[in-house]
Structure 1
Amino acid sequence: MNLNTFPYTRSLLAASVAMLLAPQTLALQEPASKRAEQGIEVIQVSATRRSENLQDVAIAVTALSANELEKMQVLDLGDLESHVPNLSLHVGDASNAVIYIRGVGQIDSISFNDPGVGVYLDDVYMGRVQGSFLDVVDPQQIEVLRGPQGTLYGRNTIGGAVKFTSAKPSEITEGYLDLNAGNYGQFGVKSSISGALVDNKLLGRFAIASSKRDGYADNQWDGGDDYDKDTLAWRGSLLYHISDDLSAYLVVDGSDGSPSHSRTPHRETPIYSIKEGRLLPVGDDPFKVIVNYNDLESLETRGAALTLEYQQGDSTFKSISAYRQMDYRTHLDLDGSPDSSFGIYNFEDQDQISQELQWLYHADGLSLVSGLYYFKEDDSTFGGAVAPDFFVPLGDGNYLPFPVINAGLRDQKNTSSAIYANLNWELSEQLGLTLGARYTKEKKQVTSRGEEFAGTGIDSAEGMEAAFGKGVGYSPTGFTAEQDWSNFSPKLTVDYKLSGDHMLYASASRGFKSGGFNGRLTSFAQPFDPETLWSYEIGSKSLLNNNNIRLNLAAFYNDYKNFQLSRFSIDPDSGAFLSLFENAGKATIYGAELEFSAVLSDALTLNINAGYLGGGYDELVGDFGAEISDQRELVNAPKWNGRVALDYWLDLDSGSLTMSLSSSYRSKTYLTVSSSEVLAQPGYALLDMSVTYLTDDEQWQLSLYGNNLTDKRYRQHGFDLSASPGVQLGYYGAPRTFGINLKYRF
């Protein structure tokens, strides 16, 4: 990490280190009441499916409470990225959550492949990456678990899990109203109310949030904007104490996102224009685009989950029954030009059911988490290209017009069933042993059909949707295929408590992610196998200096096999564009992580997290079977990443004032499987700041905030279509944003 390149990062870190090395008597001599207010927050996590102190859990997990999420202005899952070491998390090209933990994840947005990091909403696994990029509405906390979690969580957690827990109903009547306004026309409202509907029996809670924002980019094609936001999200919950031993918890939620425009990437390379007969140059400003196919973006989600919990002695029995559905429609301009060279559309309907039965046992020296899990989803995706200006490069600067207007319909059924157990045994007061295992069976069935519509007079996605399968299109293709897989994933963890405040642990665990069929093809079935990963980890968790310092460390080594990669190529015989999805080889990934929090004085706290990633591909198969591992870098795996934050707290006569300053850094990151240097993002730092006033009665809170204050331009996501139609595209993170937040609690 070259901190000299980023003066404000260097200055902030230097000040932090200086204060850290200062005499610690300040913290020790402060009144106990002040230290309690500014002390290290004790966080209870449910990473092991039961409530435990974060420091007692032998897992690399970052947990952020509702208070921390609010203080850090975490408004959606993407804002978590800098707060968790070795986490890459951003929205992708099609409203999908792109999540990588320790270099393991999935970049593709189409539904035929599963995410490498599981997202859980109130213990319910979300099967699709669309709908998983959650707005943070009325949370209790968010936990990010790093490394395979198969012995505890639903499915496909080969890289880790992001666990969102919403706030539960309370006995007392309470609530809040939160207003937010900022640049780019940002305006948001959040509100929640909770209380007893029947004393000591039935509790309820309801939260709703609306967020609107103009687009970050200007579209010079029609004078409009691009990538705006218009979202309404809500959640209702009921907690019914049927008896002293039996309870029922129902959560129902929904969200509607209907912005005026989809997200358009910035064209980073010239592209040929059939209409103009020349190469169109690249613009300098990534927030100025000239596109004609960004006019549709709609995402709707609905969900319901019922948890029945029965306690009997040392045992707890749980049933978690859930249903979720998602509807997504979009037009994406992937030529980045005013031509119709490569417009892509995707209309997806998905629904899923899941059922989990758990037996949890906890007694002196022994605890068990065990369960049966079942998941089934139906996904129907209609998609294709609207590209009447498409072309085929012939070489020597010659291009052949080749209109492409086509459609594909894929119906897919996925089922997964599993049995798992995770046993923790305290062999002595200091020594603990955890044995875990999961056996999974998965099956995928797919029916895929395709048709061509160029020359039929139908030139829109909606027209093809209405005419598909009715004999209007031509060159029909199709296949039906199914396959099943099974997997055994064990886990072993040993932990040793040096004292009540110091713990060491070591673990070995195996992760698994299901196989499937390439959903972009309609002429033949291209299956791909499951991924597997062995992860070896050592770590320590410590509370120091009279609990004024928290220091958590972890180091890991991942042996990653059969990883699934999407790549774009061209058929050497026909010149046709090919979209391939294959098991490409093997990789070794290793690294280390640090999380540090310190109360430096009655008025000052310091937080640091840092991650390091090393390793790379051991084997990688490219075009024509070529071995190219030495030519490629891991995707979304920066060598260095981290964040330094200082919080200054000032007690006033009428309340308190908190000032927060933070800087985050990520080193060079490759965003595409091709390891394109054009799209690779060089190392960069971001600077954020906020000032918050809280009244003495804690009812009123006013915050001023600014993010990316230096207005850094940085790519988060990319598309390398250099094979065809010969263009590379970059998706940029948010520019400088600032605003004001007013919150009233009652």
Structure 2
Amino acid sequence: MKLQQQKYRLKLCQPAILPLAVLTALTASPILADETDAEKEKARVIEVIEVTATRQTENLQRVPIAVTALSGAELEQYQIQNLGQLEALVPNLNLHVGDAANAVVYIRGVGQLDSISFNDPGVGIYLDDVYLGRVQGAFLDVVDPQQIEVLRGPQGTLYGRNTIGGAVKFTSARPSETTEGYVSVLAGNYQQRGVKASLTGPLIDEQLAGRFAIAKSSRDGFSFNQYTGKNDYDKDSLTWRGSLLFTPVSEFTAYLVLDGSNQNPDYSRTPHRETPIYSLPSGDFLPVGEDPFVVNANFNDREELRTKGVALTLDYQLQQSTLKSITAYREMNYRTHLDLDGTPDASFGIYSYEDQDQLSQELQWLYRSESLSLVSGLFYFRENSWSLGGAIAPDFFVPLGNGVFFPFPVISAGLRDQTNTSYAVYSNMSWQLSEPLSITLGARWTSEKKQVSNSGEEFFGTGIDTPQGMQAVFGTGIGHSLTGYDASQRWNDFSPRAVLNYQYSSQTMLYSSVSKGFKSGGFNGRLTSFAQPYDPETLWSYEAGAKSLLLNQQLRLNTAFFYNDYKNFQLSRFSIDPDTGAFLSLFENSGKATTYGAELELQALLTDSLTLNMNLGYLNGGYDKLIGDFEQEVSDERELVNAPRWNGRLGLDYWFDLGSRGTLSVNAGASFKSKTYLTVSSSDLLAQPGFTLYDLYVNWQSQDERWQLNLFGKNLTDKRYRQHGFDLSASPGVQLGYYGDPRTYGLQLTYRYF
């Protein structure tokens, strides 16, 4: 959280040994500035944070929602380069990249593991108030941000798309009437290189302002592939954003944003084999390698992700009301080859090609008076999704037991066209019943329809063994075993919300709430022989919390306690057909769960120069009912996915005033997470035991605030830890682990023009 007067909040973070000597010399210099008593008093005050979690700009301490807000300056200080690096800064948040460049986001144990586009995310990600419909393209690089807010719990009565678990809201920096900009360069280990630049200013005085930002980032892969002799899971990305802010009169603004990204590394991400696997060509088992960052795979040669979008926000203010329109269109294209046997064999190579476009329209009426606040809206969302996916697995086999493996070559393609349409009307009204007491009532009605055309075909023995070749002749009769279906279904839902909040004192607000979350159903996109529908999820969330700014604004303490009743949750799992032995990929409603927990966020000014930052999350509960293989009830044998019992971070931030030589801050932190189950099967082999990561940030800024030098180190002890897993022990008999980033460090130099 920001502190008033602390200039160092406009810093970045970097590493390299050369600047350490410079920073040491600066630190050793005498402090030349002689602060007045007034300046010292000002430095001891925690600044009020404004958020837009309720679609209106409000003081964080007065918003009856569990929300964490990080400013652009804080994101720079902690070197947040992508959304996954938010994880340690937000209690009960699990956020990482999955197996197919997808954002895997869980809040309070609610989310979605699957990377295939037939199902909806459990946590909504919003870019400048626009909902991102697919998990591919949602693992955003953090470029030129104004703020990121993470809202925990259902948000259906405030946001266009009902998000059952919560929302991650990315707000980019807006154009300014003052000409200013910055350029930063970054260098780090693994040959990490990055350049960011932004420029903003007036185009027509007092009427039109523009902003443009661009970022180029690359690095070598974290893993070494013995098969190719090259690095695996490298990075090569380009992200840009342009915006115009038109203000012809004081009451009206038109805000246009165009953005795009292009990620084109040399190789996709290959998991580490955690168990031996049978090799059909060699007729023996291949052992497990000791180093999780050494892989041996032959089908990881493609990874391409492109996104682009445009959004127009019209805002008209009329006395106490605001009328707003948000119109947006986005496209996403993704191509990947994934090696899911982790061997040089062609046992289980998976490809996924996806194209998606979405159109959304939101109309809002916002009203505020002394005693009444209203957020209401109409929402329309239409999404078209095309995908081609399947297996290139001529060495695939079926384990028959007793050490017998039956060759079962597969070269297949599944072609799916899906259209999703969503309509919603929502309203959220808050009344000030008395000076300390207010009540909020909200409601949402949603109607969603999914139409899908799905078909599959086998091409083994035809001489066609590439995705492009199968796409070209699909359905022409060259392949065999053609299957398919057409299906559609509509779901309606009513989701209410009620909040009671009490301003106990000028420093403390208490609140309690109950709300319902909803996520629509669909059809299992991996099955092509018949339509397997699954029903919507619902979640009732009960929450109580307190927000306090105490000790003359030297201590911020926010707490929340929650209880979730989660029903009909949708789970993806892998199994085997008991009759044929064929591999099955299932997606179905598997039962219900109860979770409960608590969250704490604390910031304390220990001295004029030393600040303590801490967050802590506790999550308990489990499955009340869970149906597994062969319709067996297995709730007592399974644990919730991505739901560690404990998580949090403790950090200390020390600030030096170097007088004419600028300012220097040092931030050291430790983030921890208890044992985490990564798969629906609750595989103990793939579960990640509890661990702690250490990080360090050293930030220098010149007196005129134009130059910044930032040194950072993350995962300083080079801890090996799993973030994601695949349990394919049923078939082809292997378990796979995806590991988090090893130790990284770097140095960033920034020049600001204003």
TM-score by length of 2: 0.95
* CA contact 1:115–1:156 (8 Å) conserved in 2: no
Instruction: Indicate the residue corresponding to 2:255 in structure 1.
Output: 249
Q: CA deviation at 1:35?
A: 4.7
Counterpart-to-counterpart distance in 2, 1:493 and 1:567:
37
Counterpart-to-counterpart distance in 1, 2:722 and 2:218:
23
Instruction: Indicate the residue corresponding to 1:438 in structure 2.
Output: 444
Q: Which residue identity is paired with 2:478?
A: V
Counterpart-to-counterpart distance in 2, 1:502 and 1:442:
40
Q: Which residue identity is paired with 2:687?
A: A
Q: Which residue identity is paired with 2:689?
A: P
Instruction: Indicate the residue corresponding to 1:215 in structure 2.
Output: 221
Query: Are 2:342 and 1:348 aligned?
Result: no
Q: Which residue identity is paired with 1:488?
A: F
Query: Are 2:706 and 1:721 aligned?
Result: no
Instruction: Indicate the residue corresponding to 1:159 in structure 2.
Output: 165
* CA contact 1:30–1:602 (8 Å) conserved in 2: no
Instruction: Indicate the residue corresponding to 2:28 in structure 1.
Output: none
Change (3 A) 1:247 1:73: same
Query: Are 2:617 and 1:606 aligned?
Result: no
Q: Which residue identity is paired with 1:680?
A: A
Q: Which residue identity is paired with 1:727?
A: V
Counterpart-to-counterpart distance in 2, 1:38 and 1:563:
47
State the secondary structure of the residue aligned to 2:671: strand
Query: Are 2:711 and 1:707 aligned?
Result: no
Counterpart-to-counterpart distance in 1, 2:44 and 2:419:
51
Counterpart-to-counterpart distance in 2, 1:40 and 1:482:
53
State the secondary structure of the residue aligned to 1:306: strand
Instruction: Indicate the residue corresponding to 1:24 in structure 2.
Output: none
State the secondary structure of the residue aligned to 1:499: coil
Q: CA deviation at 1:32?
A: 3.4
Query: Are 2:750 and 1:743 aligned?
Result: yes
User: Residue 54 of structure 1 is aligned with which of 60, 66, 69?
Assistant: 60
Q: Which residue identity is paired with 1:376?
A: R
Q: CA deviation at 1:73?
A: 1.1
* Unmatched segments (≥5 aa) in structure 1: 1-28
Instruction: Indicate the residue corresponding to 1:468 in structure 2.
Output: 474
Instruction: Indicate the residue corresponding to 2:46 in structure 1.
Output: 40
Change (3 A) 1:453 1:30: farther
Counterpart-to-counterpart distance in 2, 1:720 and 1:649:
47
Instruction: Indicate the residue corresponding to 1:682 in structure 2.
Output: 689
Counterpart-to-counterpart distance in 2, 1:650 and 1:32:
18
* CA contact 2:45–2:552 (8 Å) conserved in 1: no
Query: Are 2:750 and 1:733 aligned?
Result: no
Q: Residue deviations 1:510-553, cap 9 Å, x none?
A: 00001000000000000000000000000000001100100000
User: Residue 326 of structure 2 is aligned with which of 320, 327, 330?
Assistant: 320
User: Residue 290 of structure 1 is aligned with which of 296, 311, 315?
Assistant: 296
User: Residue 506 of structure 1 is aligned with which of 495, 506, 512?
Assistant: 512
Query: Are 2:258 and 1:276 aligned?
Result: no
Q: CA deviation at 1:461?
A: 1.8
Instruction: Indicate the residue corresponding to 2:639 in structure 1.
Output: 633
Counterpart-to-counterpart distance in 2, 1:230 and 1:378:
27
Query: Are 2:699 and 1:692 aligned?
Result: yes
Instruction: Indicate the residue corresponding to 1:656 in structure 2.
Output: 663
Counterpart-to-counterpart distance in 1, 2:44 and 2:696:
19
- Aligned ranges 1:408-557 → 2 under 5 Å: 408-557=414-563
Q: Which residue identity is paired with 1:493?
A: V
Q: Residue deviations 1:74-123, cap 9 Å, x none?
A: 11000000100000000000000000000000000000110000000000
Change (3 A) 1:104 1:439: same
* CA contact 1:511–1:534 (8 Å) conserved in 2: yes
State the secondary structure of the residue aligned to 2:569: strand
User: Residue 380 of structure 1 is aligned with which of 386, 395, 404?
Assistant: 386
Query: Are 2:98 and 1:100 aligned?
Result: no
State the secondary structure of the residue aligned to 2:552: coil
Counterpart-to-counterpart distance in 2, 1:296 and 1:678:
29
- Relative contact order (alpha carbons < 8 A, sep ≥ 6): 1 or 2 greater? 2
* CA contact 1:207–1:234 (8 Å) conserved in 2: yes
User: Residue 332 of structure 1 is aligned with which of 332, 335, 338?
Assistant: 338
Q: CA deviation at 1:324?
A: 0.4
Counterpart-to-counterpart distance in 1, 2:662 and 2:79:
21
State the secondary structure of the residue aligned to 1:680: coil
TM-score by length of 1: 0.96
* CA contact 2:44–2:554 (8 Å) conserved in 1: no
State the secondary structure of the residue aligned to 2:471: helix
* CA contact 1:308–1:320 (8 Å) conserved in 2: yes
Counterpart-to-counterpart distance in 2, 1:35 and 1:283:
58
Instruction: Indicate the residue corresponding to 1:266 in structure 2.
Output: 272
Counterpart-to-counterpart distance in 1, 2:671 and 2:40:
29
- Aligned ranges 1:64-83 → 2 under 5 Å: 64-83=70-89
Q: CA deviation at 1:37?
A: 4.3
Instruction: Indicate the residue corresponding to 1:309 in structure 2.
Output: 315
Size of the alignment, in residue pairs? Answer: 718
Counterpart-to-counterpart distance in 1, 2:729 and 2:385:
30
Counterpart-to-counterpart distance in 2, 1:263 and 1:35:
51
* CA contact 1:450–1:476 (8 Å) conserved in 2: yes
Q: Residue deviations 1:607-649, cap 9 Å, x none?
A: 0000000000000001111110000000000000010000010
Q: Which residue identity is paired with 2:733?
A: G
Counterpart-to-counterpart distance in 2, 1:674 and 1:79:
27
Q: Residue deviations 1:285-337, cap 9 Å, x none?
A: 00000000000000000000000111111100000000000000000000011
State the secondary structure of the residue aligned to 1:242: strand
Counterpart-to-counterpart distance in 2, 1:633 and 1:611:
18
Q: CA deviation at 1:195?
A: 0.5
State the secondary structure of the residue aligned to 2:468: helix
Instruction: Indicate the residue corresponding to 1:14 in structure 2.
Output: none
* Unmatched segments (≥5 aa) in structure 2: 1-34
State the secondary structure of the residue aligned to 1:675: coil
* CA contact 1:114–1:156 (8 Å) conserved in 2: no
Q: Which residue identity is paired with 1:678?
A: L
Counterpart-to-counterpart distance in 1, 2:608 and 2:37:
8
Counterpart-to-counterpart distance in 2, 1:440 and 1:38:
47
State the secondary structure of the residue aligned to 2:589: strand
Q: Which residue identity is paired with 2:268?
A: S
Counterpart-to-counterpart distance in 2, 1:686 and 1:467:
50
Q: Which residue identity is paired with 2:738?
A: Y
* CA contact 1:535–1:558 (8 Å) conserved in 2: yes
In percent, how many aligned pairs have the same letter? 69
